Structure 1
Amino acid sequence: MDVSQDRAHRAWRVAGRIARLSDNLIPIGPWGIGLDGVLAWVPGANTLYSVGAGGLLIYEAIGAKASAYTLLRMGLYLTANSALTEIPVIGWAMDTLFRGHLMAARALQKDIERRFGPAEMPPEWRRGRGAQRQAVQVAG
């Protein structure tokens, strides 16, 4: 059964939301911290969130019929991200900085864009660092 463009683009948007929530809720320069980074310091919650968000990304990738290569890449990013949560303090610090959910989400989004073209970006995603920079340029 083939996947529709609407279903694939829904997966693209879900992946973007997970990436933003997990790894880019609070932008810090070119970097960012999200729930995954904050929960990295809470034993148990860190693994639960990491595996849950990763599982949702894989579910969306399967629903969008992502390529085997994309699924493998996503699996590697998510496994590394979840494995870091098992190492106290040093692993938690590394997990705070490692953006595994974001990397997996981008891999899925690129796969979808390659097959179906770019999805329409939700309006709330257009506000942010780029919009702020544009406002500063207009004002300056």
Structure 2
Amino acid sequence: MNEGGGMATKVLVIDDEEDYRIILQEVLRGAGFEVRLAEDGEEGLALLRESPCDVVLVDWMMPKMDGERFCREMRAVPRLKDIPVVMITVKQTVDEELEALHFGVDDFVVKPCKAPELLARVRAVLRRAENRRA
């Protein structure tokens, strides 16, 4: 994680709601992250294949390719499989959490989320990923 100096930590935000993508982009950029945006899982996967990032925020429910399918397909690509994923969801039940953890999600945020919580969760998954690599 390079928030303090050097190159910015790269975050990919995938959400079909443009207003929400822009809000997340502003919050993350304000905290020093470099942000790329995609409106669905297909576009997000294409962006990742082109240029991997450090963490992905992905909405669960989207047209074309939803968050679950995105995670499964991303985890099947060897050079992308270890990128941490934070799932954005409108509601969150224990069953949904278990299902999402099973297909490769590292953490969750419930829409709408407050900026401090979002940033704390992003930083936490980045720390865990860094610790796994060490």
- TM-score, scaled to structure 1: 0.27
- TM-score, scaled to structure 2: 0.28
Q: Greater RCO between the two (CA within 8 Å, min separation 6)? A: 1
Higher-strand-fraction structure: 2
